[in-house]
């Protein structure tokens, strides 16, 4: 299976191994526009079977160190004008069950995406907060490509989020590496 791994920045780089997978990687940069553009270019070049976004996120509802498998995505910028009838959600909730891998005990959740680094608590729908995943999910949905996002929680929003994010990058890398090393094929033992 051809897997395209997307990550916003090289600083979020994680060694990712999936059994029986041909892996390609693209760094999308920060924000929805660049994420959409760079993912679209990578899809054109690599023609993946699945896109897997891996990176860091903030939260209001989990603990630092949690790893969350996101299959539902919210555009918080568009959510603000949902009263105009704008669709601001993308769901890919059946994707993990259709892959050949066991995703183990990872928490399942919703990723809230917007073009700002959220530093103050506010009413946010979702479990993880980032700046790229919704845009990538939308590109994949439009191109009929399965998409998921694995997020390591680096910070609690409102508790010096930017500083904690920077300090937690090494821990995120280590934890995500360990997580991906634990993934096995379905119907196979370790």
In this predicted structure, what is the pLDDT of residue 55? 94
Rounded to 5°, the CA angle 146-32-70 comes to: 40
136: closest CA among 150, 117, 124?
150
In this predicted structure, what is the pLDDT of residue 190? 40
Instruction: Give residue-wise pLDDT tens across range 15-29.
Output: 898 999 999 999 999
Count, residues in the chain: 190
| pTM strictly above 0.85 | yes
Q: Which domains does the chain have, with CATH numbers?
A: 2-185 (3.40.50.1580)
DSSP letter (8 states) at residue 131: S
With 0-12 / 13-18 / 19 or more C-beta atoms within 10 angstroms meaning exposed / middle / buried, residue 5 is buried
DSSP E strand boundaries for the chain = 2-7, 22-27, 50-59, 67-75, 89-91, 101-102, 107-113, 128-130, 147-156, 184-185
Instruction: Give residue-wise pLDDT tens across range 126-176.
Output: 999 999 999 999 999 999 999 999 999 998 888 866 666 777 888 999 999
Q: Is the pLDDT of residue 80 over 50?
A: yes
């Amino acid at each position: 299976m051809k897997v395209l791994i997307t990550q916003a920045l090289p600083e979020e780089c994680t060694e990712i191994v999936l059994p029986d997978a041909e892996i390609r990687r693209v760094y999308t940069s920060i924000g929805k526009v660049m994420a959409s553009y760079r993912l679209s270019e990578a899809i054109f070049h690599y023609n993946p079977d699945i896109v897997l976004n891996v990176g860091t996120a903030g939260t209001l509802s989990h603990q630092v160190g949690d790893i969350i498998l996101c299959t539902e995505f919210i555009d918080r910028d568009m959510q603000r004008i949902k009263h105009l009838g704008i669709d601001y959600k993308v769901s890919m909730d059946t994707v993990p069950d259709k892959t050949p891998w066991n995703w183990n005990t990872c928490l399942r959740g919703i990723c809230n995406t917007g073009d700002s680094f959220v530093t103050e608590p506010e009413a946010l729908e979702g479990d993880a907060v980032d700046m790229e995943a919704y845009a990538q999910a939308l590109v994949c949905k439009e191109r009929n490509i399965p998409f998921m996002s694995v997020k390591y929680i680096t910070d609690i929003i409102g508790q010096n989020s930017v500083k904690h994010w920077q300090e937690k990058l090494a821990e995120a890398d280590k934890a995500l590496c360990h997580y991906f090393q634990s993934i096995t094929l379905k119907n196979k033992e370790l």
